[in-house]
Amino acid sequence: MPARLIDSLGTTGPLAEVFSDRSVLQAMLSFEAALARAEGKVGVIPKAAAAAISAAAESAEFDSSDLSQSARRAGTLAIPFVKKLTEWVKAKDSEAARYVHWGTTSQDVTDTALILLLNRAHPLLAEDLHRLEDALGGLSEEHKNTVMLGRTLLQAAPPITFGLKAAGWLGAIRRSRLRMDIAFRETSVLQFGGANGTLASLGDKGVAVGRALAAELGLGFPDAPWHTHRDRLAAYVTSCGVLTGCLGKMARDVSLLMQGEVAEALERVVDGRGGSSTMPNKRNPVGSTLALAAANRVPGLVASFLSSMVQEHERAVGGSQAEWPIVAAVVEATGLASASMADKANTLEISSAKMKENISATKGSVFAERAMMLLGPTLGRSAAYEIVRKATMKSVAEKRRLSEVLAEIPEVTGILSQQTLRLMETPEEYLGVAEEFRKRLLSGRFPLQDGEEEQ
């Protein structure tokens, strides 16, 4: 299903379908049908009525526009929904209609429907994230020896490898996905508490019905209803926020690497992607644009959800009612960022030649730290720092290589040979343990716990 035009830069087609009117109604109908079947199994309602309700729910057709207007009057979608479902069942079996929505409450329907929607949405996010992780792993391996400028505070710094940079993106995104997966599993539970969370309307059959209902829907059965305890959902929404931030970080890096003055990366133009309406020469960072738009939007949405957690007593006024559009927007934005960066990673072109050229353009100034460390053992750090600082300033002012300027300073040439000075500006010779860190990131290892030995 295509997204509304106003949402076209805020979601993907599959996620727009998950949160469409048709899908929302189907989730609510699934709850009511499963409830009837569960109550029939436990003996709370007649099995014939359960079968009739379940069958009717599978064929029910409602006017979503009419339901939307009625929901605003009722303060919940569940009330007009249950009324319409009851009428639908009654037209087919008047006796069964007496047992529609038996023993449950509005929030049980809406909360569980939301969880069912998340059960459909989460695999879509996971699919794109796995695609992205595979692409980043490939880029990291392909470019493990591709040297480039490190950049600190947006200024040129000693070299790194693009393989390490890609592995850094991968590590953060993978960790965030794993946290999101954990939060999803904890969130994927039934809501079923009746009017005030005790299921008193079902007598001593409440737990039995709840377990049967959870099994019908493929959800976990929690210790108790969670009408005003929104911590599980909050953990999931927050994990989406962290993940989207990590995707945004990657998007920001890539968009900067794509700047014309830098030109170390390009997003391949495919299917009209990346062009300009007026400038034929442009290759715009479209994937980064969409991911950054999501990263800009999601933090505020997460904050809104966290604000809605402060809910009073057993059922709240305005708390859960605020959540549906927030959760949908967060998940859709996260999904858009994931899909966009997966597409980008699979079409990213890296210019190793331009990366080397940009290192060379610094005329060796990015190796000032290396010069200082070579001189430091003999001169001391402070003295070495001052000599190299002045040499660097002269190198920049006279547009000469740092090694050439250093070769004219007696304090330097008395310690470092001409060959050492020439080799000082070789990027491959000043990468430290970049490759070890890259491999560790790709392995997916987590920091060691107390008492754990490194393998």
The confidence score (pLDDT) of residue 207 equals 97
Q: Are the C-beta atoms of residues 264 and 160 closer than 8 Å to each other?
A: no
Residue 337: pLDDT over 50:
yes
d(CA 326, CA 340): 21
Catalytic one of 174, 315, 370, 401: 315
**Mean pLDDT (whole number) for 63-77:** 91
Mapped onto helix, strand or coil, the DSSP state of residue 265 is: strand
Joined tokens for residue 351: 């210019």
Residue 169: pLDDT over 60:
yes
The confidence score (pLDDT) of residue 30 equals 97
Indicate the pLDDT class of residue 270, thresholds 50, 70 and 90. low
Catalytic one of 8, 94, 276, 360: 276
Indicate the pLDDT class of residue 455, thresholds 50, 70 and 90. very low
Indicate the pLDDT class of residue 274, thresholds 50, 70 and 90. low
Tell how far CA 355 is from the center of its chain.
29
Which run of H or E residues covers position 185? helix 162-187
d(CA 143, CA 352): 9
Among 3-12, 26-35, 65-74, 237-246, the range scoring the smallest mean pLDDT is: 3-12
Q: At what angle do helices 106-142 and 434-443 cross, to 10 degrees?
A: 140
d(CA 340, CA 319): 32
**Mean pLDDT (whole number) for 152-169:** 97
Indicate the pLDDT class of residue 240, thresholds 50, 70 and 90. very high
> Interior CA angle at 142 toward 138 and 148, to 5°?
120
pLDDT digits (tens, 9 = 90+) for 85-134: 999 999 999 999 999 999 999 999 999 999 999 999 999 999 999 999 99
In percent, how much of the chain has pLDDT > 90? Answer: 86
Mapped onto helix, strand or coil, the DSSP state of residue 159 is: strand
The confidence score (pLDDT) of residue 8 equals 84
What homologous superfamily does CATH list for 1-104+202-216?
Fumarase/aspartase (N-terminal domain) (1.10.275.10)
Residue 401: pLDDT over 90:
yes
**30 has catalytic annotation:** no
What homologous superfamily does CATH list for 105-189+226-360+433-448?
Fumarase/aspartase (Central domain) (1.20.200.10)
d(CA 342, CA 337): 8
- Mean predicted lDDT score pLDDT of the chain: 93
Amino acid at residue number 109: V
Indicate the pLDDT class of residue 394, thresholds 50, 70 and 90. very high
CA dihedral 238, 244, 249, 250 (to 10 degrees): 140
Indicate the pLDDT class of residue 285, thresholds 50, 70 and 90. confident
> Interior CA angle at 131 toward 126 and 134, to 5°?
120
The confidence score (pLDDT) of residue 279 equals 47
Q: Are the C-beta atoms of residues 135 and 346 closer than 8 Å to each other?
A: yes
The confidence score (pLDDT) of residue 69 equals 92
Indicate the pLDDT class of residue 233, thresholds 50, 70 and 90. very high
Which run of H or E residues covers position 301? helix 286-307
d(CA 301, CA 290): 17
Give CA separation, 26 vs 62, 120, 198, 257, 325, in Å: 10, 12, 27, 45, 17
pLDDT digits (tens, 9 = 90+) for 427-445: 999 999 999 999 999 998 6
Q: Is the alpha carbon torsion for 82, 87, 91, 97 positive or negative?
A: positive
d(CA 142, CA 127): 23
Joined tokens for residue 407: 């070769």
The length of the chain is 455
Which run of H or E residues covers position 171? helix 162-187
Say which residues have a Cβ less than 8 Å from residue 418's Cβ, sequence separation at least 6: 407
Mapped onto helix, strand or coil, the DSSP state of residue 349 is: strand
Which has the closest alpha carbon to 24: 92, 85, 115, 101?
A: 115
Q: pTM of the prediction?
A: 0.92
The residue ranges of every structural domain in the chain are 1-104+202-216, 105-189+226-360+433-448, 365-424
pLDDT digits (tens, 9 = 90+) for 205-226: 999 999 999 999 999 999 999 9
Residue 275: pLDDT over 60:
no
Which has the closest alpha carbon to 357: 107, 149, 173?
A: 149
User: Architecture of 365-424 per CATH?
Assistant: Orthogonal Bundle (1.10)
The confidence score (pLDDT) of residue 271 equals 63
Say which residues have a Cβ less than 8 Å from residue 272's Cβ, sequence separation at least 6: none
Phi-psi group of 283: left, alpha or beta (phi > 0 → left; psi -120 to 50 → alpha; rest → beta): beta
The confidence score (pLDDT) of residue 448 equals 46
**417 has catalytic annotation:** no
DSSP for 108-149 reads HHHHHHHHHHHHHHHHHHHHHHHHHHHHHHHHHHHTTT-EEE
Q: Are the C-beta atoms of residues 169 and 205 closer than 8 Å to each other?
A: no
Among 283-287, 341-345, 371-375, the range scoring the smallest mean pLDDT is: 283-287
d(CA 364, CA 359): 8
Q: Are the C-beta atoms of residues 50 and 36 closer than 8 Å to each other?
A: yes
**Mean pLDDT (whole number) for 26-53:** 97
The confidence score (pLDDT) of residue 278 equals 56
d(CA 105, CA 193): 7
The confidence score (pLDDT) of residue 6 equals 86
